[in-house]
């Protein structure tokens, strides 16, 4: 039994050595269709969970605050339907034709967000705006304005520009380490004509900063504990 315990301890030490930080990518495509306003989609990769929900800057007669919108998921990616938009047309994408639309991504652990891949359904401009931050896990944006985001834990507003195309684009995210959220959408502001930005979100990438236990590590830990317990009972 001493040999078994020693072997378990050795395997545990090797398997549970700290791993270097590794970027993870969550595929956001699927077939959920359009959800009810306020409903969320959850994605898991290597024990790290990303929760997504949709928001529109559509509250009030002047579109002057955030309120829950309907998140949608298709084989191209995720979109948003807000206000009085027609989900059967191009409006099921994230866009800034009229009120702004956003997807809030919340991570289950501290990360550095590295990229978001967008893909227009048609030829559209692909400019984006986003905020990253460390926010409450119970964050509710209802009734909040852009001016409120800093007090909620978000950093500065960041815009990233591109050209009109029907091709996918991976947006490199400027993100400090130690965040758990990103609010991402088409460039802030109400636009018309060729200036409208419109796309779906295909994937999001981030590097977890908190080590995530590997399944093998957890299994060997249990084996080591069992061996120690057996030895004590003898």
- C-beta neighbour count of 22 within 10 angstroms: 9
**pLDDT confidence of residue 98:** 79
**pLDDT confidence of residue 17:** 38
**pLDDT confidence of residue 215:** 52
**pLDDT confidence of residue 103:** 98
**pLDDT confidence of residue 213:** 58
**pLDDT confidence of residue 84:** 79
**pLDDT confidence of residue 228:** 38
Which of 119, 124, 107, 132 has its CA nearest to residue 184? 132
Which of 126, 117, 116 has its CA nearest to residue 96? 126
Q: Using CA atoms, how far apart are residues 67 and 14, in angstroms rounded to an integer?
A: 49
Which of 169, 167, 159 has its CA nearest to residue 116? 169
Q: What does the pLDDT profile of the chain (234 residues) look like in tens digits? A: 445 444 444 444 434 434 457 999 999 999 999 999 999 999 999 999 999 999 999 988 788 999 999 999 999 999 999 987 887 777 899 999 978 999 999 999 999 999 999 999 999 999 999 999 999 999 999 999 999 999 999 999 999 999 999 999 999 999 988 999 999 999 998 788 888 999 999 999 999 997 655 554 444 444 444 443 344 444
DSSP conformation class of 142: T
Tokens at residue 2, please?
């001493």
**pLDDT confidence of residue 51:** 98
Q: How far is CA 203 from CA 75, 84, 107, 134, 169, in A?
A: 12, 27, 14, 21, 10
**pLDDT confidence of residue 130:** 98
Q: Using CA atoms, how far apart are residues 149 and 129, in angstroms rounded to an integer?
A: 13
| H or E stretch at 52 | strand 48-56
Q: Using CA atoms, how far apart are residues 175 and 191, in angstroms rounded to an integer?
A: 27
**pLDDT confidence of residue 48:** 97
Which of 33, 139, 7 has its CA nearest to residue 41? 33
pTM of structure: 0.82
**pLDDT confidence of residue 211:** 62
């Amino acid at each position: 039994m001493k040999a078994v315990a020693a072997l378990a301890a050795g395997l545990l030490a090797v398997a549970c050595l700290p791993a270097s930080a590794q970027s993870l990518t969550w595929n956001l495509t699927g077939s959920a269709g359009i959800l009810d306003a306020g409903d969320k989609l959850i994605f898991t990769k290597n024990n790290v969970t990303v929760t997504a929900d949709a928001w529109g800057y559509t509250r009030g007669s002047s579109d002057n605050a955030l309120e829950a919108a309907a998140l949608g998921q298709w084989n191209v990616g995720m979109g948003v339907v807000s206000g009085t938009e027609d989900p059967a047309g191009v409006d099921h994408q994230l866009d800034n034709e009229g009120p702004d639309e956003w997807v809030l991504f919340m991570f289950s652990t501290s990360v550095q967000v590295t990229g978001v891949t967008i893909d227009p359904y048609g030829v559209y401009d692909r400019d984006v705006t986003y905020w990253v931050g460390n926010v409450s896990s119970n964050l509710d944006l209802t009734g909040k304005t852009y001016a409120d985001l800093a007090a909620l834990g978000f950093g500065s507003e960041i815009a990233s520009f591109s050209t009109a195309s029907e091709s996918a684009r991976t947006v490199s995210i400027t993100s400090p380490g130690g965040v758990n959220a990103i609010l991402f959408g088409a460039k802030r502001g109400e636009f018309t004509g060729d200036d409208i930005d419109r796309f779906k979100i295909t994937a999001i990438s981030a590097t977890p900063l908190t080590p995530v236990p590997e399944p093998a590590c957890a299994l060997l830990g249990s084996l080591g504990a069992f061996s120690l317990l057996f030895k004590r009972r003898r």
